[in-house]
Amino acid sequence: MRIPVSKPDLRGREAEYAADAVRSTWISSTGPFLDRFEREWAQACGAKHALGVCNGTAALHLALLGLDVRPGDEVLVPGLTYVAVANAVRYVGGVPVFVDVDRQTWCIDPKLVEAAITPLTRGIIAVHSYGHPADMDAINRLAAVHGLWVVEDAAEAHGACYRDRVVGGLSRVGVTSFYGNKILSAGEGGAVMTSDDQLAVRLRVLRGQGVDPDRRYYFPVVGHNFRMTNVAAAILCAQLERFDQILRDRRRVFARYDEHLGRTQPCADWAEIAPWMYCGLLGHRRDHVVDLLRERGIETRPFFYPLHELPPYRGCARGNLPVSVELARSGINLPTYPELPDSVVDEICEIVRRDP
């Protein structure tokens, strides 16, 4: 493909810091970049603690282990999101229960959450989907009333704001990913955020094979190896130095698309969207436009399949999920990255707008 749908922006000190980590021989899962990254990312999310992990899926898995999800526990998950969210629930033996998304946010619909709660429900995973924050006050309020925890997944929404508060630190636990197509990236990487001191200790233990923090080589619980390397953290430290610039550059791409296409992604009046991948709704023309762009060497991606339509998750929805299904059929992500030239955006839009 001539034009990828996304591409990390590594034009700052990423190569320099990664080389520093290599030269120092601190390439494993301790080191100064890791400490710095965890400090700075916690601050960027308004959380007290952040733990670097090897990817976003591990971050979700670790969060659910930290919250002690047990076999048979039900977890409410949006019907339209990345499959890792549902998979993580399964890893701990839980049952993902899909709730439709809200047409105004494309995130889990708080109005439908209450009806999905049963005596087995333990928590809610609120995903800030396609850069738009979920309605966290409504979700946190429902969770408090029913004694549930909330995990916030900010993988697609680095820098998004909910009522002027940055996402990632707005609930009991936040998780994120730094995969190659996220706004900030280390190729592979993730983080878990919390302001609960006790939970942070527990998460650290579970991340590092379950080792006792006060007794080396002694393992009181079954843990995992979900650690992040100092090399990945080095790249993320450089990404964080240019966080604002990366957001600005991606917003410029968004604005260019908007000029041609008109924004189709809704934005609640309390939301500031993070410029992840530009979203279009093309209705029945979607697959045709994907083909037209592919012929020109331009990569796109269709929206996620509704999770309850995937073989492992058939039957996991309470009722049907009309909004998830409609968005999944109609939605497309268009190339979005800081180095994308305006002329290519213009070319893409010309094809998108062409009559079928």
Contacts to ligand PLP by CB under 6 A: 55-57, 81-82, 84-85, 127, 153, 155-156, 177, 179, 190
**Least Å from the CB of residue 82 to ligand PLP:** 4
DSSP state of 215: B
**Least Å from the CB of residue 20 to ligand PLP:** 24
**Least Å from the CB of residue 192 to ligand PLP:** 12
Residue 136 makes CB contacts below 8 A (sequence gap 6+) with: 126, 150, 152, 162, 167, 170, 171
Q: Alpha-carbon distance 158 to 243, whole Å?
A: 9
User: Which residue, 74 or 156, is less far from ligand PLP as judged by CB?
Assistant: 156
Measure the CA angle with vertex 190, ends 187 and 195; round to 5°: 155
User: Which residue, 20 or 335, is less far from ligand PLP as judged by CB?
Assistant: 335
**Least Å from the CB of residue 40 to ligand PLP:** 19
User: Which residue, 174 or 190, is less far from ligand PLP as judged by CB?
Assistant: 190
**Least Å from the CB of residue 295 to ligand PLP:** 28
User: Which residue, 191 or 253, is less far from ligand PLP as judged by CB?
Assistant: 191
Give me the DSSP letters along 47-110: -SEEEEES-HHHHHHHHHHHTT--TT-EEEEESSS-HHHHHHHHHTT-EEEEEPBPTTTSSB-H
Tracing tokens 């590594």 back to the chain, one arrives at: 10
User: Which residue, 65 or 211, is less far from ligand PLP as judged by CB?
Assistant: 65
Residue 233's closest CA among 197, 184, 195? 184
**Least Å from the CB of residue 32 to ligand PLP:** 23
User: Which residue, 58 or 349, is less far from ligand PLP as judged by CB?
Assistant: 58
Burial class (CB in 10 A: 0-12, 13-18, 19+), 137: middle
What does R_g of the chain's alpha carbons equal in angstroms? 20
